[in-house]
Structure 1
């Protein structure tokens, strides 16, 4: 998995934070928390998960498809950069 990130411990830490947030949702649901509070927490989880997904896709594209910073063909480099930019916007 080393190609997925320069810092795998950082990815694992993000996953653990997500687990903690999901546990908090379960506690809120079991405790009868206000629906607005639950929805706010779920929305923050969605944002955190999208950030993790984006980082994994970015690493995958750069390692397995084409790294725009090291691509000799300008058209391929631009295509990869454009794809990653669209993904950043979509997963924001």
Structure 2
């Protein structure tokens, strides 16, 4: 993922925030927190993961499919990689 080097620090910070959110879910489960509170925490994690996924998918699309300097074969490879990820993510 060489194309993410430009904003690697931002991505790492985002992943660390997600890790903190997951830790909050764990704490809620361990503490027998109310279901609604735990569900809100889980929903926040899901939203954060979806946002991270969107950002990385967009970067992949721009760098490996839409980049004008790519050959047709490189574009096809990038599109195929993206299709596999989208199928897996949609399950």
TM-score, normalised to structure 1, is 0.69
After TM superposition, which residue ranges in structure 1, 4 or more long, deviate above 3 angstroms? none
1:1-92 to 2 correspondence within 5 Å? 1-4=1-4, 6-67=6-67
Q: CA deviation at 1:27?
A: 0.7
Structure 1 gap segments, 5+ residues each: 72-92
SS in structure 2 of the partner of residue 32 of structure 1: coil
Q: May I ask how many residue pairs the two structures share in their alignment? A: 70
Determine the C-alpha separation between the residues in 2 that align with 1:5 and 1:46.
25
Root-mean-square deviation (CA, aligned residues, Å) is: 1.9
TM-score, normalised to structure 2, is 0.70
Structure 2 gap segments, 5+ residues each: 70-91
Q: Higher relative contact order at CA 8 Å, sep ≥6: structure 1 or structure 2?
A: 1
